[in-house]
């Protein structure tokens, strides 16, 4: 074995730019974003990838990646991705969207891109709250969850019930992969990275719509310290949104 004095064991992936991100301390966006960037790097796709950022906390993520980037209107990323992919099918296209963007204002775009089997990859960040606007009720906020716009807790009789996106989309024929992961521990981070790489591989094989839902924390708007937020995710989010593969058209192979 060659003795190297200061071997680099871990560094910035080439999929990310030099820009320092703007996420709050303890927020898991940074890990999720890095996993996406690392995946396109490991698969050798940086030069052919176009990423689409949403409206929400990741809105300026077009500054954080080294591949070509597009910023989309609120909820419209899957439609923008459709236009990009139909214009240049040889490119790898991903969207990176939060729960309000994907499951509320953009639900029509999400479902129809999925059922068309649009050959794109959707990275869905579910932290059960609107982050950028200051902590309002999200389509995925849990029953009883206190937010700025559900100050007495989410009353499902008034505000309705949360949406389980992977379960919903898994019924659609156009979906090739629907998997829910989280990034609250090193082993879960590794599993999440694997799921994201699988989604990109499926896209490049032309298998259809792929979605990786990542459960994350929002310490700022949950009003919890980062470590407590990890515990809240474990105790509350995961039970309501179980981790796992909801659809994998290659699972039988």
Backbone angles phi, psi at 12, to 5 degrees: -65, 130
Angle between helices 29-42 and 186-204 (to 10 degrees): 50
Between 88 and 190, whose beta carbon lies closer to other proteins? Answer: 88
Residue in 112, 191, 194, 228 binding other proteins, rule: CB under 8 A: 112
41 binds other proteins (CB under 8 A): no
Query: Does residue 109 bind other proteins (CB under 8 A)?
Result: yes
Q: DSSP letter at 210? A: E
Judge contact between 233 and 215, C-beta under 8 A.
yes
Query: Which of residues 59 and 163 has its CB atom nearest to other proteins in the complex?
Result: 59
CB of 6 to other proteins, least distance (A): 27
Q: How far is the CB of 238 from other proteins (least distance, A)?
A: 32
Q: Is 21 exposed, middle or buried (0-12, 13-18, 19+ CB in 10 A)?
A: middle
Residue closer to other proteins by CB (options 118, 248) is 118
Rounded to an integer, what distance in angstroms lies between the CA atom of residue 197 and that of residue 239?
Answer: 25
- For residue 238, give both structure tokens: 């995961």
Site for other proteins contains 12 (CB under 8 A): no
Please identify which residue in 13, 33, 39, 66 interacts with other proteins, judged by CB under 8 A.
66
Q: Which of 86, 144, 185, 190 binds other proteins (CB under 8 A)?
A: 86
Residues that bind other proteins (CB under 8 A): 17, 46-50, 52, 59-60, 62-63, 65-73, 76, 79-88, 90-92, 108-109, 111-112
């Amino acid at each position: 074995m060659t003795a190297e004095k200061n071997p680099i064991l871990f560094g910035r992936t080439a999929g990310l730019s030099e820009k320092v991100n703007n996420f709050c301390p303890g927020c898991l966006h940074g890990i999720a974003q890095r996993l996406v960037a690392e995946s396109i790097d490991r698969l050798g796709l940086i030069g052919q990838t176009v990423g689409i950022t949403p409206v929400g906390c990741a809105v300026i993520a077009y500054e954080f990646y080294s591949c070509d980037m597009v910023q989309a209107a609120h909820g419209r990323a899957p439609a923008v991705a459709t236009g990009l992919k139909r214009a240049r099918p040889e490119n790898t296209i991903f969207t990176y969207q939060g729960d309000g963007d994907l499951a509320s204002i953009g639900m029509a775009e999400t479902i129809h891109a999925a059922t068309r089997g649009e050959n794109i990859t959707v990275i869905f960040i579910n932290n059960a709250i609107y982050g950028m606007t200051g902590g309002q009720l999200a389509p995925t906020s849990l029953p009883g969850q206190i937010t700025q716009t559900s100050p007495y807790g989410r009353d499902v009789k008034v505000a309705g019930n949360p949406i389980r996106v992977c379960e919903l989309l898994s019924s659609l024929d156009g979906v090739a992969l629907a998997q829910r992961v989280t990034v609250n521990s090193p082993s879960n981070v590794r599993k999440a990275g694997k799921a994201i790489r699988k989604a990109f591989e499926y896209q490049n094989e032309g298998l259809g719509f792929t979605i990786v839902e990542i459960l994350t924390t929002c310490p700022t708007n949950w009003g919890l310290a980062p470590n407590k937020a990890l515990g809240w995710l474990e105790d509350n989010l995961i039970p309501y949104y179980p981790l796992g593969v909801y659809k994998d058209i290659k699972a039988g192979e």
